[in-house]
Structure 1
């Protein structure tokens, strides 16, 4: 039987048959789905999100079997907003990343993002940077400092996003537009610039929406409920 070893993180798992689990893994070789047998045992305790793993998968079909699974590092302990942010990244990957499509650079970026979340780095820049990397890896990226005609973005210009083409210059103010100054700040990853974080959040939502197929993200709704819930 064909077997392959890899670094991995669990994106999602659910009960499967009597005592097994169906697990989606992120690996440098892409998103892989496999059956974990005896999921209530020691292996099942490791089959949770945000734990660096070494796994061995067996089988040649799309649905493989976990032959071996062990911890490969310190778990990324996430709580509160950081936990929901990690679940959001996982849901994006499950929804958008094709199965068995290798993205080793994205895997490394994901691992570093989890580490940054675990130590409490500022949340919004981490999420926006990951969304941007994911779009680029999937071939949906676009320039932030030039428009779709190849002209440099003007500091005082106004632009709308055409998700399949890029930034389109617009002559007058309309809802949903982006200021050139904010776009140039994003191009330089200048998160301290006034308006940069808010613009980045709107831009990434507009860029991701066509690829999510109109279905809401469960993790985003949970995150919003967390932020809106009254504090003791």
Structure 2
């Protein structure tokens, strides 16, 4: 089978047999799982997250073989909270993205998000943007400026999320609801609006939860334990 060269990022890698690694890659053609032989040598140094790669894969089954792996630039220097955020994105993709389901726009968005994390840009807007893109690519997206009936979101209204459908107006405040002005700010990615980022985090958790099942995200738990260094 002809091996085609394509850009790739490593999402996760683990030891496999004596000297190989079982690696989950993100490529424009989707998430691929492949065996990387000689993982204890030079190739193994590339099988780590946040390194832009050029890769070739062989095989017709779901489990491929890596026939070539080369770095296309310097590793992105992602540390601290940004590092945990990158691991969170990787875990989301492993858990939610079907194998060999092409999403070239999602791949590009992922690469841009990693670059932004490496540049030290504000983390929360980057995460919310990526979660929203991922939901849309998987067919789980919904409108933020209109409700399930197609009516415009009212700034002073209250709404709850109906999974995989969209926002439903509610008559009075109840746990888990969102203000219309928060939804409209999200629709415009206006993160300067009061409460917009916090509301977006709650909304994305609600939207992602049914697709993640009951198993918690390891990266989210690690992120919650991350403490800022003590300053003198």
Q: Tell me which residue corresponds to 2:149.
A: 149
How many angstroms does 1:142 deviate by? 0.2
- Report the CA distance between 1:5 and its aligned residue: 1.4
Partners of 1:55 and 1:165 in 2: CA distance: 38
**Residue number in structure 2 paired with 1:140:** 140
Q: CA deviation at 1:27?
A: 0.1
Aligned-pair distance for 1:202?
A: 0.2
Partner of 1:10 in structure 2? 10
Partner of 2:200: 200
2:213 corresponding residue in structure 1? 213
Q: Which residue of 2 is the match for residue 48 of structure 1?
A: 48
Gaps of 5+ in 1: none
- Mapped to 2, the partners of 1:115 and 1:197 lie a distance apart of 21
Q: Secondary structure at the residue paired with 2:226?
A: helix
Residue 176 of structure 2 is aligned to residue 171 of structure 1 = no
Answer whether contact 1:34 1:57 (CA < 8 A) is retained. yes
Matches within 5 A, 1:5-154: 5-154=5-154
* Partner Cα distance (2:105, 2:2) in 1: 25
Q: Could you report, residue by residue, the CA deviation over 1:156-198 in whole angstroms, capped at 9, with x for unpaired residues?
A: 0000001121000000010110000000000011000000000
Rounded to whole Å, the distance in 2 between the matches of 1:190 and 1:12 is: 33
Report runs of 4+ in structure 1 exceeding 6 Å deviation: none
Partner in structure 2 of residue 181 of structure 1: 181
Distance 1:133 1:212 in 2: 16
Which SS does the other structure have where 2:4 is aligned?
A: strand
User: Under a length normalisation based on structure 1, what TM-score does the superposition of the two structures give?
Assistant: 0.98
CA distance in 2 between counterparts of 1:188 and 1:142 reads: 14
Provide the secondary structure at the position in 2 that maps to 1:3.
Answer: coil
Once residues 214 and 146 of structure 2 are traced to their aligned partners in structure 1, the CA distance between those partners, rounded to angstroms, is 28
The alignment's C-alpha RMSD in Å is 1.0
Following the alignment from structure 2 to structure 1, what is the Cα–Cα distance between the partners of residues 72 and 214? Answer: 37
Q: 1:2·1:60 contact (CA, 8 Å) conserved in 2?
A: no
Gaps of 5+ in 2: none
Give the whole-Å Cα distance in 2 for the aligned partners of 1:13 and 1:100. Answer: 17
C-alpha separation between the residues in 2 aligned to 1:148 and 1:169?
Answer: 9
